[in-house]
Amino acid sequence: MTSSTEDIRAAARLLEAGKLVAIPTETVYGLAADAGNPDAVAAIFTAKGRPSNHPVIVHVARDADLSRWASEIPQEAHRLIEAFWPGPLTLILPRAMNVPLAVTGGQDSVGLRCPSHPLAQALLKEFRSGEGGLAAPSANRFGRVSPTTAQHVIDEFGAPGTGPLAAVLDGGQSDVGIESTIVDLTRLATHGPVLLRPGGISTAELERVLGCAMSTPDTAAPRVSGSLDAHYAPHTPVALVASSMLDEVLRHLAQKHRHVALMAWSESSATRLAALTSLRMPADPQAYAHMLYAGLRELDAERADIILVEQPPAAGAWQGVNDRLRRAAFDSTGVLDKLLA
Ligand code: TXA
Ligand code: MG
């Protein structure tokens, strides 16, 4: 059920009163609080179990006055905003003095995003008459799979009133399905624009608009929890397997009577899928991303010994998907070998 205008108004009042509200965006659902209220922002970190030195993204309404949040808005930012806002792109800019340190994780920069989901936009317009900002990380416990439906959020935090959430707005299944692309523009003179996290918008699209190559992060880059090696992980171990190896691995696991959940995308995997707890994924990167987190949650619920994921193609359009799968599998290194032993 999609939330009504009345629900949106009520959510805005709760947020203005310092409460936490889960909101739909086109990427994933966010756990939102008033970005101008340090206590409300602190409650996000408590609910998620997230370290307090990790910054959160500030979501703003279309045509918001960005000087309230950023002390400097370079040409590059204007070009990216023109091309991709509202949409799945977060810009890291030098923070304005009055932005609470709770939002920036104590850093000098602030992450800004203008989401395109109509419900998120309606809420941002209603909240503090469009003049405010909503701090919102993905609405999942720290390190876990991001939610792409209102039900996923309730599975994580409980129904409104029973846990940390005052309300959950329902905007249907998130379109993009993986988190926003993050571009750091705080060190242009020395590093150029830096891609901190691949996502809904590809490197090729960014480079076309900026007219220059994107750099990759160095050790001095701002902290991004989404770039921790282990993140986005289900409870069941995850192993990535090349298409060419899939048959052999499945045969060996069957011999050992292992309970396998399979996530596969290629044409040739169709016959294997029939025999297993499995999910047929689209062969198109955008459609795959749209289904990814719901798929991981569904397979996780099988409580299998392992979730085998057929490695998607390496092409640039798959960058965001491959990034999330690699991190989801990171903590499970060695598990497949043990199950095969
Ligand atoms: O699509 C998205 O970006 C979703 C939706 C809800 O908007 N949000 C999201 O938030 O993925 P979160 O907190 O799960 O991931 C945001 C990332 C974090 O890795 C955080 O470290 C980074 O953005 N970030 C936020 N502010 C930053 C800053 N000032 N400097 C560097 N990184 C920042
Ligand atoms: Mg997250």
Quote the CA–CA distance of 327 and 229 in Å, as a whole number. Answer: 5
Q: What is the pLDDT of residue 332?
A: 85
Half-sphere exposure of residue 66: CA atoms within 13 angstroms, side-chain side:
22
User: Which mutation among 57, 69, 168 tests ligand 1's pocket best, with the greatest number of atoms within 8 A of CB?
Assistant: 57
Mean pLDDT for each consecutive 10-residue tract of the chain (341 residues)?
93 98 98 98 95 93 96 98 98 96 94 98 98 97 94 97 97 98 96 94 96 83 60 89 91 91 83 75 97 96 95 94 93 88 89
The pLDDT, as a whole number, for residue 270 is 58
| Residue 185: strand, helix, or coil | coil
* Distance of alpha carbon 131 from alpha carbon 65, whole angstroms: 8
DSSP states along 213-279:
PPB---TTSPP-GGGSSS-SB-SS-EEEE-HHHHHHHHHHHHHTT--EEEEE-SGGGHHHHHHSEEE
Cβ atoms of residues 6 and 23 within 8 Å: no
331, two tokens: 């903590």
pLDDT at residue 219, rounded to an integer: 63
Give 147 Cα–ligand 2 centroid separation in angstroms: 9
Phi, psi of 125 (to 5 degrees): -75, -35
- Ligand 2 centroid–CA 251 distance in Å is 35
Pocket of ligand 1 (CB under 6 A): 25, 27-28, 30, 54-57, 90, 92, 104, 107, 109-111, 113, 115, 136-138, 179-180, 182, 222-226
Q: What is the SS3 assignment for 119?
A: helix
Nearest CA to ligand 1 atom 6: 30
Mutational pocket test of ligand 1: of 31, 58, 90, 174, the residue with most ligand atoms within 8 Å of the beta carbon: 90
pTM higher than 0.85: yes
Distance, CA of 225 to CA of 8 (rounded, Å): 29
What is the number of the ligand 1 atom nearest to the C-alpha of 182? 23
Q: Report the distance separating Cα 341 and Cα 253, nearest Å.
A: 9
Distance 224 CA to ligand 1 centre (A): 7
Whole-angstrom CA distances from 247 to 77, 252, 270 are 47, 9, 12
